[in-house]
Structure 1
Amino acid sequence: VSVCAEAFNPDDDDEEDTEPRVVYPKSDDQRARLQEACKDILLFKNLDQEQLYQILDAMFERKVEPTEHVIDQDDDGDNFYVIERGTYDIYVNKDGKPLLVGKYDNHGSFGELALMYNTPRAATIVATTEGALWGLDRGTFRRIIVKNNAKKRRTFETFIESVPLLKSLELSERMKIADVIGERSYQDNELIISQGDQADCFFIVESGEVKIMIKSKTQADQQEKTEVEIARCTKGQYFGELALVTNKPRAASAYAVGDVKCLVMDIQAFERLLGPCMDIMKRNIVNYEEQLVSLFGTSLDLENPGI
């Protein structure tokens, strides 16, 4: 029987939860490792404490060996996986041949799309080293994550429709973005991203204002560690994309101006869901370079190309 025949209504908030809860006993060491692996998983960010405890209780450890296929494209989805350690290649079949489209390196998660939308696996994940994963069964994932995401989607979908960058996406694509984004709050002058750091997230300003600062490369300013403001982002605008597009470290810092809320998308979701927006973002790279030339006479005043 196809899993697509499964009946489930995540919008029915009054639906009685009669499914038996899945619990895998864990040692203190396993619990600590699991919590560390899950601490930055955006799908878990909007869960309350009781929901998170149920998720952690239900997760099971899976050891993998090099060349082992964790999931295969077009298979039915059975589990969601969080990476504790190990590296993994992502393949998508194109013209009958596997095409390498990305990698996971000792952190991240995968397998959620097939469980959320009752669709076959969209990619093949192959371990390239010995590793360890934490799996979550389909039933628990849908009972807690999908239901919680339906509420989150209702909260965010109107705002996402208003973001200029995302207007070119189909409704179904915007809905998927609403399912994977998280929300973070910052106080006045709090550092959001730091110049020189590796990029792991993309940000959209939900409310408030964010200032983008770069370190000047003049000798005097370097000694004083002077930063120069090059841009401000307000509601509906985005930042943090350049480093993800160019695969280089952050070339600017971002600070909250007053209280700020941002919607946040991790790098894996960014690469998977924002492909249709890539041309727009690449055009903005040219605009950033032109702005730097007008400010400093050269774009090379940035320590690295990409915010």
Structure 2
Amino acid sequence: MNIEIPDGLGDLLRDFTVAVLRERPPDIYDFAVRFFTKVRENRRPKDVPMYVIVDDDDIGEPDKDSFKPKCQRLNRYGRRQSVSAERYDPEEDVSDDEKACHGKTDEQRERLTEAVSGILLFRALEPEQMQDVLDAMFETVVHPGDYVIRQGDDGDNFYVIDSGQYDVLVTVNGEEKRVHTFEGKGSFGELALLYNMPRSASVMSVSHGSLWAMDRNSFRRIVLKSAFKKRKMYEELLENVPILKSLEHYERSNLADALVTKKYTDGECIIRQGNEADGMFFLEAGVIRVTIINPDGEEEELGQHSKGKYFGELALIENQPRSANVYAVDEVKVAFLERECFERLLGPCLDIMKRNSELYKQYTEQHSVKVNCE
């Protein structure tokens, strides 16, 4: 039976999800009633707003002839606004545009590196992609009262805070309300770029400060395209893991988005027996060696595994310390799933994992007994 998805359903659910994540209501059901009631009331046609197109030169460009760039002064009246944001499909993007590169002093690059170090969006990027991020970002100075972004505008830049205080403002029934304040760190502006939608809130500078900005094209090329490639690669990896066959496609996609790449060199310990479990691993490339410390205190090898195997789940299932050691053989690349994501994303597979863990425990117990008898 073919089920036709009504027009507008995807956009409606997306907007509702964004609103929930932004406002974090204590009662999601009451919030849903208010949200959809307001959507229904706002369905009447509205006048199309007039956009003023301002050249980038009006807000200043980095000095390309100097190693030290000019900081851009944010102009609340001269911001670049696009009439409409084209939809971006990373799968169809085969362009090889010239990378944006804004020169920086060593001091600026050090500050920027520290500012982006905790940004979740960049966590899955490879080292060379992080260098592209650092090159593409430019510094913007702000003064009290400057609007960095305005609710309803199209997204032009993604921002990382270097210094200063910033209020997040949402206009409700014509009244602007403060919903959050950034104090010297954080990032904002990614939702409009990620979902090709207008700004969902305004951000105003409360004090003097500086921001690191990345233009929309660079953000898409580095963040969205790399995230798409990462998801495709991990989806292919996960499709070959037998216990994950019970997952639906969208569940594997969510799992792929949560994985983080980690690399280990020859002989490096990936898991230490007795340590607290922080997550589980999927072997992406290379070979691992598994050992246990037997009752006599001697370390004994149980076997080796190659691409497609998973490990580290036993301690999470049993809520106990690690029961074995895992070492890298030559160069090893793994996909790491944090403990917090484990039960949420792998719920349908937990029963299978528990059965496998019982077999594993029986094997190790039998093996230990055999060693002691010898």
Provide the TM-score with structure 2 as the length reference.
0.48
Partner of residue 210 from structure 1, selected from 288, 308, 316:
288
Pair 1:258–1:44, CA change in 2 (3 A): closer
Instruction: Please give the secondary structure, in 1, of the residue aligned with 2:124.
Output: helix
Pair 1:261–1:16, CA change in 2 (3 A): closer
> Equivalences for 1:1-307 in 2 at 5 Å?
7-11=87-91, 12-14=93-95, 34=115, 37=118, 42-45=123-126, 48-53=129-134, 58-60=159-161, 144-218=222-296, 221=297, 226-297=298-369
Rounded Cα–Cα distance in structure 1 between residues aligned with 2:299 and 2:272: 12
Rounded Cα–Cα distance in structure 1 between residues aligned with 2:292 and 2:243: 24
Q: Which structure 1 segments of 5+ residues have no match?
A: 64-80, 86-111, 119-135, 299-307
1:26-60: CA deviation from partner (whole Å, max 9, x where unpaired): 99997575455359974234761334327987323
Q: For residue 234 of structure 2, what is the amino acid of its counterpart?
A: F
Instruction: Please give the secondary structure, in 2, of the residue aligned with 1:59.
Output: strand
Pair 1:198–1:116, CA change in 2 (3 A): farther
Deviation at 1:177, TM superposition (A): 2.6
Q: Percent identity, aligned pairs only? A: 35
1:175-215: CA deviation from partner (whole Å, max 9, x where unpaired): 22333323333333221122233322321122332121122
Deviation at 1:251, TM superposition (A): 2.4
**Preserved CA contact (<8 Å) 2:122 2:223:** no
Pair 1:163–1:213, CA change in 2 (3 A): same
Pair 1:164–1:199, CA change in 2 (3 A): same
Rounded Cα–Cα distance in structure 2 between residues aligned with 1:200 and 1:56: 33
Rounded Cα–Cα distance in structure 2 between residues aligned with 1:208 and 1:41: 25
Root-mean-square deviation (Å) = 4.8
Larger relative contact order, structure 1 or 2 (CA cutoff 8 Å, min sep 6): 1
1:210-253: CA deviation from partner (whole Å, max 9, x where unpaired): 121122233xx3xxxx2122343222111011222233332221
Deviation at 1:277, TM superposition (A): 1.4
Following superposition, which runs of at least 4 residues in structure 1 exceed 6 angstroms of deviation? 26-30, 54-57, 112-118
Instruction: Please give the secondary structure, in 1, of the residue aligned with 2:118.
Output: helix
Rounded Cα–Cα distance in structure 2 between residues aligned with 1:181 and 1:13: 25
Rounded Cα–Cα distance in structure 1 between residues aligned with 2:347 and 2:237: 20
**Preserved CA contact (<8 Å) 1:203 1:264:** yes
Provide the TM-score with structure 1 as the length reference.
0.57
